[in-house]
Amino acid sequence: MVEDKENVRKNKGKTAPIKIFGTDPKHPEEGRIFLWTKAGWFERIEERPGDLTFTYVAQSEIELRQFINHDEPSVDLVQLGSEYRKKTAAEFTGDLEIYYATEREKRNRSLTGIGITLVILGLFILGAGIYFRSTYNPVNFKSTSYQFVFSQAFSTGLSAIIVGMIMHVFGWAILGLTYLRHLAD
């Protein structure tokens, strides 16, 4: 989707990478209008003059046909002429930027959540490892019957410290990358 955003930016003065289809080729405003982009299919909806929205309706042409056939089973889609396409593409480009901004925000929230989770889990595992290393040190116990058990707990503590540190570092790395992506947007 980032690639689509870059294409839209590159093509602002040129013809946008959008195809326009309608259900009424002679009077497009009277029928339904659909736009195809690499991001999927959108429907142009004008409830009142000046109140124009583009709603995401499908990812593939099959899904779009199912969507249309649900309301109007006998309708065919026809690609609209270049004059109407230019007008609708210009209207849509602004809405597309909003759509991409929303998608970026969702991805950034998701990555931030993953980063925070890794940081916190890493700290818990690191703490558990330090606890095991300090509590179950076999040198502290004189009894040979417990030394084997404690040496295993001691080794497990080292593993937990390593895993906890790795998770913690990866969590901070993800948070850093998310922050850099936020700055780039």
pTM more than 0.75:
no
Residue 144 has pLDDT above 70, yes or no: no
Distance from C-alpha of 62 to C-alpha of 119, rounded to nearest angstrom = 42
Residue 32 has pLDDT above 70, yes or no: yes
Residue 119 has pLDDT above 80, yes or no: yes
Give residue 145's pLDDT: 64
More confident residue, 88 or 95: 88
Residue 1 has pLDDT above 80, yes or no: no
| Beta strands, E only, the chain | 19-22, 33-37, 40-48, 51-58, 78-79
Distance from C-alpha of 97 to C-alpha of 14, rounded to nearest angstrom = 16
Q: What is the mean pLDDT of the chain?
A: 75
pLDDT confidence bin for 96, thresholds 50/70/90:
low
Contacts of 11-15 with C-beta under 8 Å, sequence gap 24+, read: 12/93, 15/86, 15/89
Residue 16 has pLDDT above 50, yes or no: no
